[in-house]
């Protein structure tokens, strides 16, 4: 009887699977692979969504700023600030953001410059005038803000009370100079439905904490902290303590603007009120930008109103040089 030749070790037989079963197992593997790929792509897309810039970071073509502020310091020549070590914090802001190197006040003394910043006109050079003796009826920043649906506030350090429209005061921890807080002069601000927007400076901190900043804010330190009665170093420390939190806040960094400017020079008569520093601060500002364009206070009035989408400009602001060179966006049309 012939024997079967043994070629090698006998292989273990594999279990038999019908063709239909093998097909179904193959389909399962394909489905698992597709589900895995879809999951990976979904996670990648989610990551892309997180890193995409928010549309709110892009300035509006009509109103690039959501909140604009102006703070006016007192009586310093350009060289007293930019050409010295008196105000290191302010100089740091000038180097980080924008500086107008050929900026001139309009007149002497103070009050006419504050009125130019808010009405586009000097109106008076008599510093003793108060909101009660000189209620301003000409076109002004408050009227145009109200007419365009923008909110406003006058923040004033050491003011006796909210809604105050009286004269100078020493009542509340410092010297309040009424001429340094110009918005109460406007008859539009004195109206019953508006006068409550004249508030103590402490309200600024509350508004900031509550994300309730106005569209337009005029910030007035008291007579020491604005360098009228005290040194520039005192004013500089005050800025760092009180204004730095505003600049660094998420609301300001979204689409804010702050102009820090001096009302008039200490002893310079050039172009009316002398050469003074003007620092332009915004998340949209060009870094370390130095402008050599000739500007005066009416240009700041124009910038702040047009920056909020206001098209009707009071007084000489309508023809003042535009300040859009300081920003890295296309100017409003």
For the chain, what's the residue count? Answer: 333
Inform me whether the pLDDT recorded for 2 exceeds 50. no
Stated as kind and residue range, the H or E segment containing 153 is strand 152-156
Please state the rounded mean pLDDT for residues 115-135.
Answer: 98
Note the pLDDT of residue 60. 74
2 occurs within a structural domain: no
11 occurs within a structural domain: no
Note the pLDDT of residue 27. 45
Report the chain's terminal Cα–Cα distance, integer Å. Answer: 108
Inform me whether the pLDDT recorded for 9 exceeds 60. no
Considering only residues 35 and 62, tell me which one the structure prediction assigns the higher pLDDT: 62
48 occurs within a structural domain: no
Give the C-alpha separation, 173 to 158, whole Å. Answer: 6
Number of H helices, E strands in the chain: 11, 10
Note the pLDDT of residue 29. 52
227 occurs within a structural domain: yes
The percentage of the chain sitting over the pLDDT mark of 70, rounded to a whole number, equals 83
Domain count, the chain: 1
Give the C-alpha separation, 119 to 60, whole Å. Answer: 25
Inform me whether the pLDDT recorded for 1 exceeds 90. no
**pLDDT tens-digit map of 51-105:** 223 334 577 778 999 999 999 999 999 999 999 999 999 999 999 999 999 999 9
Please state the rounded mean pLDDT for residues 255-265.
Answer: 98
Confidence of residue 45 (pLDDT cuts 50, 70, 90): very low
43 occurs within a structural domain: no
Mean pLDDT, the chain, whole residue set:
88
Note the pLDDT of residue 258. 99
Residues 6 or more apart whose CB falls under 8 angstroms from that of 317 comprise 120, 298, 299, 301, 302, 305
Inform me whether the pLDDT recorded for 276 exceeds 70. yes
266 occurs within a structural domain: yes
Radius of gyration for the alpha carbons in the chain, expressed in angstroms and rounded: 32
Question: Residue 108 is part of a domain; what is its CATH number?
Answer: 3.40.720.10
Please state the rounded mean pLDDT for residues 193-214.
Answer: 98
Note the pLDDT of residue 59. 75
Note the pLDDT of residue 39. 46
Please state the rounded mean pLDDT for residues 229-237.
Answer: 98
Token pair listed for 79 = 């060289």
Inform me whether the pLDDT recorded for 164 exceeds 90. yes
Inform me whether the pLDDT recorded for 137 exceeds 90. yes
89 occurs within a structural domain: yes
The domain containing residue 137 runs over which residues? 60-326
10 occurs within a structural domain: no
Inform me whether the pLDDT recorded for 219 exceeds 50. yes
Note the pLDDT of residue 218. 99
Please state the rounded mean pLDDT for residues 154-175.
Answer: 97
Strand pairing category for 256-262 and 67-73: parallel
Note the pLDDT of residue 57. 56
Considering only residues 22 and 313, tell me which one the structure prediction assigns the higher pLDDT: 313
């Amino acid at each position: 009887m012939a024997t079967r030749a043994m070629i090698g070790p006998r292989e273990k037989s594999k279990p038999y699977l019908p063709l239909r079963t093998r097909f179904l197992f193959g389909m399962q593997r394909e489905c698992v692979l597709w589900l895995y790929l879809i999951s990976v792509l979904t996670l990648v897309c989610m990551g892309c969504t997180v890193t995409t810039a928010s549309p709110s970071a892009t300035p509006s073509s009509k109103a690039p700023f959501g909140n604009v502020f102006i703070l006016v310091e007192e009586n310093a020549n350009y060289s007293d600030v930019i050409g010295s070590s008196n105000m290191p914090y302010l100089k740091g802001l000038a180097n980080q953001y924008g500086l107008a190197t050929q900026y001139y006040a309009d007149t002497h003394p103070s009050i006419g410059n504050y009125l130019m910043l808010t009405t586009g006109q000097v109106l008076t050079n008599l510093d003793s005038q108060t909101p009660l003796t000189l209620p301003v009826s000409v076109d002004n920043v408050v009227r145009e803000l109200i007419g365009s649906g923008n909110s406003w506030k006058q923040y004033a350090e050491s003011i006796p009370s909210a809604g105050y429209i009286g004269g100078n005061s020493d009542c509340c921890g410092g010297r309040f100079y009424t001429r340094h807080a110009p918005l109460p002069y406007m008859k539009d601000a004195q109206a019953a439905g508006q006068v409550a927007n004249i508030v103590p400076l402490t309200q600024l901190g509350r508004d900031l904490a509550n994300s309730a900043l106005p569209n337009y804010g005029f910030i007035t330190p008291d007579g020491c902290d604005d360098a009228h009665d005290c040194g520039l170093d005192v004013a500089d420390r005050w800025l760092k303590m009180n204004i730095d939190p505003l600049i660094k806040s998420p609301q300001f960094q979204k689409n804010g603007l702050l102009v820090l400017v001096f009302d008039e020079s200490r002893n310079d008569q050039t172009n009316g009120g002398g050469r003074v520093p003007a620092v332009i601060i915004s998340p949209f500002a060009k870094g370390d930008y130095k402008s050599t364009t000739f500007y005066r206070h009416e240009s700041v009035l124009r910038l702040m109103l047009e920056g909020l989408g206001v098209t009707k400009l009071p007084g000489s602001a309508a023809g003042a040089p535009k300040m859009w060179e300081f920003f890295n966006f296309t100017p409003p049309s």
